[in-house]
Amino acid sequence: MLEQLLIFTRGGLILWTCKEIGNALKGSPIDTLIRSCLLEERSGDVSFNYDAHGAAYTLKWTFHNDLGLVFVAVYQRILHLLYVDDLLSLVKQSFAEIYDPKRMAYDDFDETFRQLRKEAESRAEELRKTKQVGKPLGNVKKQGQVSKSGLEGGNKRISESGGSKKDDGDGNKAKVGNLTNGHSNGNHQMEDDSQTSDLANGKENTTDNVALDLSKLQKLRSKGVRGRGGIRKADSIGNKGSKVTAAEPAKKATKKNRVWDDAAPKQEKLDFTDSVDENGNNDHVDIVAADQGESMMDKEEVFSSDSESEDDDEPGSDEKPEAKKKGWFSSVFQSITGKANLERTDLEPALKALKERLMTKNVAEEIAGKLCESVEASLEGKKLASFTRISSTVQGAMEDALVRILTPRRSIDILRDVHAAKEQRRPYVVVFVGVNGVGKSTNLAKVAYWLLQHNVSVMMAACDTFRSGAVEQLRTHARRLQIPIFEKGYEKDPAVVAKEAIQEATRNGSDVVLVDTAGRMQDNEPLMRALSKLINLNNPDLVLFVGEALVGNDAVDQLSKFNQKLSDLSPTGNRSLIDGILLTKFDTIDDKVGAALSMVYISGAPVMFVGCGQSYTDLKKLNVKSIVKTLLK
Amino acid sequence: MENFEDLKILVEQWSHQGIEYLQKIPPTQLYAAIGVLLFTTLLLLSIRLVRRTKSNTVLLSGLTGSGKTVLFYQLRDGSSHQGTVTSMEPNEGTFVFHTENTKKGKIKPVHLVDVPGHSRLRPKLEEFLPQAAAIVFVVDALEFLPNCRAASEYLYDILTNGNVVKKKTPVLLCCNKTDKLTAHTKEFIRKQMEKEIEKLRASRSAVSTADIANDFTIGIEGEVFSFSHCRNKITVAEASGLTGETEQIQDFIREYIKP
């Protein structure tokens, strides 16, 4: 049963609630919906789940963009009510007729609502009955072709996932599962498609299919995944078993070296650290980093303000002849007088062009799609103002949406947080996490330099105990910047090293502790577990995800998996997720700045720093307006 | 040189033609045309001058959940109807206060704007600041301490905004939800905000002089910050949106927008 149905304006005033259903909602699902979904530009999603205060609700919504109204339906998650979407659209239509901006109370709507609900429920009942009648017929047809459809289902899976870059890891596993278990599996999932495919393909040799599948599988496995850690992934699935067993006996003895390939593990110790005495003085010549000038964090961003009037002549090339349903004259006429209402079909060509433009700027495909859906949801049904074209309205809405996403949700004033921690007499702990090779150690040094310029005492903690040379690298940086560094060499447990580093910092009064960790792939279970152990043991103030601006669609995967692992493996009630993003290698991309957008959208964390070079001063803040301008150029 | 001569001759010919044409038009039409032109320019100038007189815009700002939309509807209609949710867009209205409806005579209406407090919608406030004649900053007196830092940062951003400093816009620090038992007093809130802003002042000015975050700094160097140091007048008041106790807000607004 429906828990509640609300109608409210975009300005926040509730116009009508259903009074028949008396139960008050537990918690505040509507406010959470607005804050974490609608304002985060996810209004294109189908539904929103709310879990808190002992209630599990699902919320569905629809907009009436012309009048600025929002219709939200709340119901218990365990019930799968089918008539909600239908009901929402009916309610929208009938309420729009009686809506008057001056009126605040709509008690007469109760009666109308009751009728609409009955109508929607009955319609859903009818639909369900027809579905049940249809199903047994379908099953009888399939009896004769059980085995074939299973294999063809497997075949289709391979061809589908061969094309997509993203879910290759999942695709691999699914393929293996399909071929080994899945005749019945394939049957279920491919019910709809295989009906048409059976007729289309006709009789095929089943043996041929099997051979084809296996060879395709092997080809894909060897091709590996585009993006980071290609071959590693395919092999790691196989080697995971061996790795887990290798980790077990290691607890008693010292940790065995990690084995990536199938090569025989070398037995010699690979620790080439020089013997160093107490002060860390080495024989090598140390160049103290002379003051290299102001960090770019503090410089004003000077960018040429190009003419604000977006090249209005250019979009003409976007609206290619494909979508020209109406003649040129009538479209010009309509743009002058203003059209009645924007329909989905009108918005589609403009949104498609916009999505492609975003994707050429290196925004992940999934994110661009979701954004376009959200903009579509907010523009549908709106009246076009006169003297505006559809493309410019869409562009304006998209610009608003982008500014909204990139504006940080909470203040990113790190210095203020450092001062607050200083008052509580504890160091401010920052942990740098990320995949391999994104620039954690380099940017850690840059952040240390910036903090030093603002009279904050910094200490580094070398918790990357895996990569050869990582500790030396940090030691060199520390010597150049003349700040203390806490290190315990290699082959030690990073979580323990971090804990001791923080204790040391409290003792010698450092304001900030910057913790460097080893790079790790988001799919690597034991490494992610080690990372979450480090974070849970030490409770850092800021978990900074370091991501490079060159990453494409993989950004979505990286961030969502990191967040998921951190929240899954943390003790309940203490979920610390990624608090901020550090975007690196920003100078290598000219105007393909989309990675920033993908990362912020998928994680909700603000971009705190941008690394734009390889020297100490190359660290700056994210300029939201210039990024939005570059994205939409 | 010849081309130059030719050009000169052409120009002279055109000017002759033009003068002849003008002389052909009957004088009344000419005078009428000139008269209309003068009239429209005078009209536009006068409108521009009239507009320079004080705007009657008052902004309702504050953190999300502090009760701005409730106050908006209380001032306008005398009741908050069926409740509110987090605003996604500003609420604007030009009206006379609900309590003033009974008064006779022509009272100047107030253009009240309720700006959403959610941090993602912060840029909207900057659109309205230039036209504001007065600002009401609403603070939740019930849940004050957890939000103290965020509220003071928001207030600090408003007080250091270029438009506010130049026009010396008066600010009312309104403590809302005072009908509840556990709500803090306005004195406590004022002192806490002053302390927090003092800390902000220290940390923000420690960041070098090229900090683009704030246009100005407030307060007097070397002294602990107090609201009396600001050039624009800052007062504190109490209110309760749910029960309709909005007397002090109305008095404040009417002080600057004469009825």
- Per the model's pLDDT, the better-predicted residue between B22 and A323 turns out to be B22
Contact B84/A at CB under 8 A = yes
Measure in Å the smallest separation between the Cα of B63 and chain A Cα atoms: 12
Whether B137 and B249 have beta carbons less than 8 Å apart is answered as no
Predicted pLDDT at A281: 45
Identify the pLDDT of residue A617: 86
pLDDT for B2 beyond 70: yes
- Does the structure show a pLDDT above 80 at B211? no
pLDDT of amino acid A252: 54
Residues of A in contact with B119 (CB under 8 A): 407-411
Cα-only R_g, chain B: 27
SS3 content of chain A, % helix, strand, coil (to 5): 50, 10, 40
What residues in chain A have their Cβ under 8 A from chain B's Cβ atoms? 6, 8, 10-17, 30-31, 34-35, 38-40, 68, 70, 104-105, 294, 298-301, 403-405, 407-411, 413, 415-416, 419-420, 453-455
Question: DSSP assignment of chain B, as one string?
Answer: -HHHHHHHHHHHHHHHHHHHHHHHS-HHHHHHHHHHHHHHHHHHHHHHHHHTSPP-EEEEEESTTSSHHHHHHHHHHSS-TT-B---SS-EEEEE--GGGTTS-S----EEEEE----GGGHHHHHHHGGGEEEEEEEEESTTHHHHHHHHHHHHHHHHT-HHHHHHT--EEEEEE-TTSTTPPPHHHHHHHHHHHHHHHHHHHHHS-TT--S-S---S-TTS---GGGSSS-EEEEE-BTTTTB-HHHHHHHHHHS--
The answer to whether residue A311 scores a pLDDT higher than 70 is no
Q: What is the pLDDT of residues B32-62, one digit of tens each?
A: 888 899 989 888 888 776 655 567 788 888 8
The minimum CA-CA distance between A197 and chain B, rounded to whole Å, is 48
Q: Test B87 with A10 for CB contact under 8 angstroms.
A: yes
**The two structure tokens encoding residue A181:** 């278990």
CATH T-level assignment (fold) for domain B57-256: Rossmann fold (3.40.50)
Domains of chain A: residue spans and CATH: 1-107 (3.30.450.60), 135-336 (no CATH), 338-406 (no CATH), 414-631 (3.40.50.300)
For residue A410, name the pLDDT band (cuts at 50, 70, 90).
Answer: confident
Which residues in chain B touch residue A30, judged by CB atoms under 8 angstroms apart? 85-86
pLDDT for res A263: 54
Q: Higher model confidence: residue A418 or residue A240?
A: A418
Is pLDDT larger for residue A426 or for residue B259? A426
**Interface probe, candidates B120, B140, B145, B148, chain A, greatest A C-beta count within 10 A:** B120
Q: Please tell me the distance from the alpha carbon of residue A219 to that of residue A555, in angstroms, as a whole number.
A: 25
> B86 and A35: CB-CB below 8 Å?
yes
Can you give the pLDDT at residue A332?
63
Please compute the mean of the pLDDT values over residues A590-615 and round it to a whole number. 86
**Interface membership of B117 toward A (CB under 8 Å):** no
Q: Is the pLDDT of residue A454 over 60?
A: yes
Q: Calculate how close chain A gets to B202, using CA atoms only, in Å.
A: 9
Of the candidates A243, A223, A245, A113, the residue with the CA atom closest to the CA atom of residue A168: A223
At A432, is the pLDDT very low, low, confident or very high (cuts 50, 70, 90)?
very high
Distance CA B13, CA B19 (A): 10
Domain residues of chain B, as ranges? Answer: 1-50, 57-256
Q: With an 8 Å Cβ cutoff, are A11 and B77 in contact?
A: no
Whether complex ipTM tops 0.85: no
pLDDT above 70 (res A173)? no
Residues 14-43 on B with a CB inside 8 Å of A are none
Q: Which residues contact A62 (CB under 8 A, 6 or more apart)?
A: A70, A71, A85, A88, A89, A92
Name the average pLDDT for chain A. Answer: 72
Q: What are the pLDDT digits (tens) for A113-145?
A: 888 888 888 888 888 888 777 655 544 444 444
Select the residue from A41, A416, A452, A622 to test the B interface by mutation, using most B Cβ atoms within 10 A.
A416
**pLDDT digits over B168-181, tens only?**
888 888 888 888 88
Tell me what the mean pLDDT of segment A309-336 comes to.
48
Q: Identify all chain B residues contacting A298, using CB atoms and an 8 Å cutoff.
A: 207-208, 210-211
pLDDT value at A214 more than 80: no
A224 pLDDT more than 80:
no
Over 50: is that where the pLDDT of A60 sits? yes
In tens, the pLDDT along B94-139 reads 888 777 776 666 777 888 888 888 888 888 888 888 888 888 888 8
Mean pLDDT value across residues A208-225? 52
Q: Does B119 sit within 8 Å of A409, measured CB to CB?
A: yes
Q: Mean pLDDT score of chain B, rounded to an integer?
A: 80
Measured in angstroms, the CA of B122 and the nearest CA of chain A are apart by: 8
Chain B interface, best mutation among A35, A620, A625, A628, by max B CB count within 10 A: A35
- Whole-model pTM: value is 0.67
Contacts A–B by Cβ distance under 8 A:
106
- pLDDT tier at A406 (50, 70, 90 boundaries)? confident
Q: pLDDT tens-digit profile of A374-393?
A: 888 888 777 777 777 778 88
- Examine the pLDDT at A183 and tell me if it is beyond 50: no
Do the chains contact at B203 and A298, CB–CB below 8 Å? no
Lowest-pLDDT range of A215-224, B137-146, B245-254: A215-224
pLDDT(A429) > 50: yes
Cβ of residue B86 closer than 8 Å to a chain A Cβ = yes
